[in-house]
């Protein structure tokens, strides 16, 4: 699985003008299941992200996790993270998991992150979503399982 993790002051996702999920301080996570991914990889990625120390401690050093700070996560499915831009001008997405597998692994990742103790809000798989966020830092980190 691939994830793009952003430390945020706030984030929200809307579909057709309706707010589906929103958080205050925490993590905005764009996540993509790849064709060979499994539930075990979703769990491993969730555990890594929950414990990733990218929040400031009292000395201003990135030394705390979202668990340490009591923050939340907004998780958005994002198949375009599988983009292959090595040829031509149009990205290819054949490395992304097919929709059924992608949705299953996305939902599994959301449950696995919540099981780590992180409050989770989410978008709607496959929907045309409008995502807003205030990146704190900015801190943006790319992770692959």
Catalytic residues: 78-80
Chain centre distance of CA 59: 27
Give how far Cα 14 sits from Cα of 40, 62, 85, 114, 123, Å: 29, 30, 28, 21, 8
Chain centre distance of CA 100: 18
> Residue 34: which of 87, 116, 101, 129 has the closest Cα?
101
Collapsing DSSP to helix, strand or coil, 60 comes out as coil
Instruction: Dump the DSSP string for 86-107.
Output: SSSSS-B-TTBPPHHHHHHHHH
């Amino acid at each position: 699985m691939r994830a793009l993790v952003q430390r945020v002051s706030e984030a929200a996702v809307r579909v057709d003008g309706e707010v589906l999920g929103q958080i205050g301080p925490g993590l905005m996570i764009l996540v993509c299941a790849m064709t060979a991914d499994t539930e075990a990889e979703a769990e491993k990625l969730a555990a890594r992200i929950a414990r990733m120390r990218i929040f400031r401690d009292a000395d201003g050093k990135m030394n705390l996790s979202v668990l340490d700070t009591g923050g939340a996560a907004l998780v958005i499915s994002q198949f375009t993270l599988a983009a292959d831009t090595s040829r031509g001008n149009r990205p290819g997405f054949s490395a992304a998991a097919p929709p059924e597998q992608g949705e299953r692994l996305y939902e599994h990742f959301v449950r696995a992150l919540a099981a780590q103790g992180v409050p989770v809000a989410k978008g709607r798989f496959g929907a045309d979503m409008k995502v807003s966020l205030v990146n704190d830092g900015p801190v943006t980190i790319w992770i692959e399982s």
